[in-house]
Amino acid sequence: MIQTTQPTGRMVLSILLAASWAGAACAQSYPAKPIRFMVGYPPGGGTDLTARVVAPHLAERLGQPVIVENRVGAAGNIAMEALAKAVPDGYTIAVGVSGLTINATLEPNLPFDPVRDFTPITKLVNNPLVLVANPSFPISDVRDLLSLAKKRPGEITYGTPGNGTGMHMVGELMNLAGGVQLVHVPYKGNGPMVNDVLGGQLPLAIGDVASTLSYIKAGRLRVVGVSNPKRTVIAPDMPTLAETGLPGFSVLSWTSVIAPARLPLQIVGRLNSDIRAILDTPQVRDRLIAAGLEPAPTTPEELGEIIRSEIGRWAKVIKSAGITSNP
């Protein structure tokens, strides 16, 4: 006959103290081996570039290699699922993007929870989004666009790099804020979308500044407005949507560093401090700005609040606009 014994209060306390001491010891010796830095997107894009700019400087400060690993698939969700299942010891971190806060509502069957399953470390950069028009389209700013859209409800189209992207959210929020019915046309990436605006098949598009700036400078695309709450340091001559017809309008697309839930506070603080110092160096800052990205470091608490508040914000927009993951 097997006898079982219920743990006493003293036994439970001993177990908790042992776990706490083990975690503290791990944090004090951190890092003692290479760190894996996961990116859920292919090499060459802005998300991957940001990680690869930061990684060597982080390795230098930590005294251990920081290896960027592209875990591509399911719009970044494969990497996020792997992160959620990783041991919270500081040796697996990942790039988290603002799309996490959209997918929390848009993808009800996600195998992870953006709040429960991750530890915020710091925001890395903002990726300014811009509404552009073919130069022949008869508007000069958002006021003109809203006026024309009210005269032609359901007729004016705008493209984005995909359904459920931050660019799509900008368009739907413009509809709600402006009381208009612009029609969304999702593309598979920035390239084909920009080509159709350049060719006149599409009057408007919402993309990021990085992928449109060369065409804007060449006069082949006209800026209607950027979605940032204030003008971007990348191109300060570009007006915001808020100042040209939609007061208070603000959407930030961002990239961050996150880790598995329950990461020891000492490690959170170490990573946050080192990454923020890296982003403040002129060498890194200039490299990111040249790529169309604005350095925007935060505390872990600030990033956590951004994630929670944007999940709530985009849930309202998605439900109001009737957006689904497979339109």
Q: In terms of domains, do 161 and 231 share one?
A: yes
Structural domain boundaries, residue 181: 129-251
Is 194 found in the same domain as 119? no
The conformational region for residue 240 under phi > 0 = left, psi -120 to 50 = alpha, else beta, is beta
Decide if 12 is inside a domain. no
Same domain, 181 and 236: yes
- Helix/strand/coil for 33: coil
- Among 251, 274, 304, residue at a domain's last position: 251
Whole-number Cα distances in Å, 122 to 4, 9, 193, 269, 278: 46, 38, 31, 10, 12
CB-based contacts of 84, cutoff 8 Å, min separation 6: 111, 112, 113, 117, 118, 260, 261
Is residue 178 assigned to a domain?
Answer: yes
Let me know whether 237 and 267 are in one domain. no
> Is 273 found in the same domain as 247?
no
The one-digit pLDDT tens for each residue of the chain (327 residues) are 334 445 555 554 554 444 455 455 556 799 999 999 999 999 988 999 999 999 999 999 999 999 999 999 888 999 999 999 999 999 999 999 999 999 999 998 899 999 999 999 999 999 999 999 999 999 999 999 999 999 999 999 999 999 999 999 999 999 999 999 999 999 998 899 999 999 999 999 999 998 899 999 999 999 999 999 999 999 999 999 999 999 999 999 999 999 999 999 999 999 999 999 999 999 999 999 999 999 999 999 999 999 999 999 999 999 999 998 766
Asked if residue 203 and residue 57 are part of one domain, the reply reads no
Query: Which one-letter DSSP state was computed for residue 65?
Result: -
- Report whether 261 contacts 118 (CB < 8 A): yes
Domain holding 220: CATH number?
3.40.190.10
Answer yes or no: is 75 within a domain: yes
Q: Is residue 65 part of a domain?
A: yes
Task: From 251, 281, 310, give the residue that closes a domain.
Answer: 251
Does residue 235 share a domain with residue 297? Answer: no
Is 326 among the domain residues? no
Q: What is the structure's pLDDT at 218?
A: 96
Last residue of a domain, one of 197, 217, 251: 251
* Residue 69 domain flag: yes
Question: Which tens digit of pLDDT belongs to each residue from 72-98?
Answer: 988 899 999 999 999 999 999 999 999
CA distance 54 to 66: 9
pLDDT at 272: 98
Q: What is the CATH number of the domain that holds 310?
A: 3.40.190.150
Domain shared by 122 and 140, yes or no: no
Q: 110 and 87, same structural domain?
A: yes
Report how far residue 86's alpha carbon sits from residue 195's, in angstroms, rounded to the nearest whole number.
40
CB of 277 within 8 A of CB of 132?
no
Instruction: State how far the Cα of 149 lies from the Cα of 178, in Å rounded to an integer.
Output: 9
What backbone torsions phi and psi does residue 198 show, to the nearest 5 degrees?
A: -60, -40
Q: Report long-range pairs for 305-310 (Cβ below 8 Å, ≥24 apart).
A: 306/123, 306/254, 307/100, 307/101, 307/114, 307/115, 307/120, 308/115, 310/98, 310/101
Does residue 150 sit in the same domain as residue 117?
no
Cβ atoms of residues 302 and 123 within 8 Å: yes
In a domain, 141, yes or no: yes
Count of domains forming the chain: 2
One-letter amino acid identity for 309?
S
The reply to whether 112 and 142 lie within a common domain is no
Q: Determine, yes or no, domain membership for 15.
A: no
237 in the same domain as 260: no
